[in-house]
Amino acid sequence: MPAFDALRNDLLLRTVRGERVERPPIWVMRQAGRYLPEYHEAKGDNDFFACCRSPEIASTLTLQPIDRYDGLIDAAIIFSDILVIPQAMGMTVEMLDKKGPHFPDPLRSPTDGQYEQLMNRKVDVAQELDYVYQAITMTRHKLKGRVPLYGFCGAPWTLLCYMVEGGGSKLFVQVKTWIYRYPDQSKKLLQKIAELCVEYLALQVQAGAQIVQVFDSWAAELSPASFGEFALPYLRYISKHLPHRLEELRLECVPMVIFAKGAWYALDDLCNSGYHVVGLDWLQDPAEAVRIANGRVVLQGNADPGVLYGDKDAITAVVQDMVQGFGGGKQGWIANLGHGVTPFVDPDNLRYFFEEIHRFAATETRSSTKV
C-alpha cells in the first residue's frame, strides 16, 4: 500500500467509530460534478467515461469541491461511476448526453448467449479497473491528509437493473421479468456481481480509499419481500466478505457504508446488515430513523437535494429540521443530502447549505452547554 500524508481532519472517521464529536462531519453525494463550472473546464471535450478512465482528470474532479468548499466539508469521494463493473464484465456502457447511461446490448434473457458468457467470464478487476485505483492513489497524494477519501461501488441489485434494462427506467419491466421469471439465473448473476464488488472495493482500499460506500440506487423498485430476496443477501455478502479479503491482503479494515435509496421499509434490516453506516434518503424522517437505528449504526443523510433549488430561507428550514432530527449531530450522524447533487444547482446554494449545518451545529453546542 502506498505511503500517504497523515490525516489532518479525522472528524468523519471518529464519527464512524461512534465517538462523540465537536460537530457533525459533512459531505454530499455527487459533490464532484456538472453543477460546478470548473468541472466543465477540467472535463473539456472528453466524454464522461473518458474522464473516469483518466486518473489525472478523475483526481482533478474529485478535488474540485474540496478546494471550493475548503473548511466546510470533511470528505472527498473519488470521481467514478457505479457502471464500471458491468464494463469490466465485458458489457458496453455509454453515457449519452441528456439521457444518461446506455447499454447498446443489454441482457435479454438467460438464453440470449450473453448471459452465459458473462457467467463464464473470469473478470480481472485488478487489471480492468486499474485506472480507478490509480486515481485513488493520485488523489490521496494530492489531498495531503486534508480529508478522508471515499471509494464506492454499485450494489448488485442496482447493477443488475442497468444491465437488463439497458439504462434508467420508469417501469423496470425487464428486470422485473428477470427476477420473477428467472429467479435462479438472476441470483447467480447477483452473486457473481457481489463477488466482483468485494474484490473491487478491496483493491480501492489497497489503493488508498479510507472508507467505502455501496450504492443501491434502485432499491425502491423492490417490495420489502423482494428486497429481502434479491438485494439484502448480496449486500450482506459484501459486508461479510470485504473484511476477510482485506485481511488476506494484509490491509486494515475500513468503515463500510450502505445507501439503499427508497428502502425506508428495510432500515431495521440494514442496521443489522454488517455496515457501519447506513445512508438515508429524504423520504426518511430523521428522528424516526434515529429511533429505529437505536445506536446500532451511524446514520448518513438526508436533506432533499431539491431544496438547493430553493432560496436561503428554505435551505435554513431544512437544515434546522435535519440537525434537530438527528439530535444535534454530536454523535452518530454524518450530514449529507438524501441523494446526489442534481444538475443546475447553484454552487453558492450548496455552500450556504454547508454553512448552515455548521451554524446550527454550533448553536446546538451552545444550547447543550447552557443545560
What does the pLDDT read at residue 136? 98
Ordered DSSP codes for 123-176 = --HHHHTHHHHHHHHHHHHHHTTSS-EEEEEE-HHHHHHHHHHSB--SS-HHHH
Between CA 65 and CA 71, with CA 68 as vertex, the angle to 5 degrees is 95
* Measured distance between the N- and C-terminal CA atoms of the chain, rounded to whole angstroms: 47
What does the pLDDT read at residue 34? 93
Per the CB < 8 A criterion, the answer to whether 318 and 302 are in contact is no
Q: What backbone torsions phi and psi does residue 351 show, to the nearest 5 degrees?
A: -60, -45
Confidence class for position 2, pLDDT limits 50, 70, 90: confident
**pLDDT tens for residues 268-327?**
999 999 999 999 999 999 999 999 999 999 999 999 999 999 999 999 999 999 999 999
Per the CB < 8 A criterion, the answer to whether 213 and 279 are in contact is yes
Q: Is residue 281 helix, strand or coil?
A: coil
Would you give the distance in Å from CA 171 to the centre of its chain?
24
pLDDT of 255 over the 90 cut: yes
Above pLDDT 90, what percent of the chain? Answer: 94
pTM of the model: 0.96
Mean pLDDT of 129-158: 98
- State the amino acid at position 61 in one-letter form: L
Per the CB < 8 A criterion, the answer to whether 234 and 156 are in contact is yes
Query: Given CA atoms 279, 282, 285, 287 in this order, what sign does their dihedral have?
Result: positive
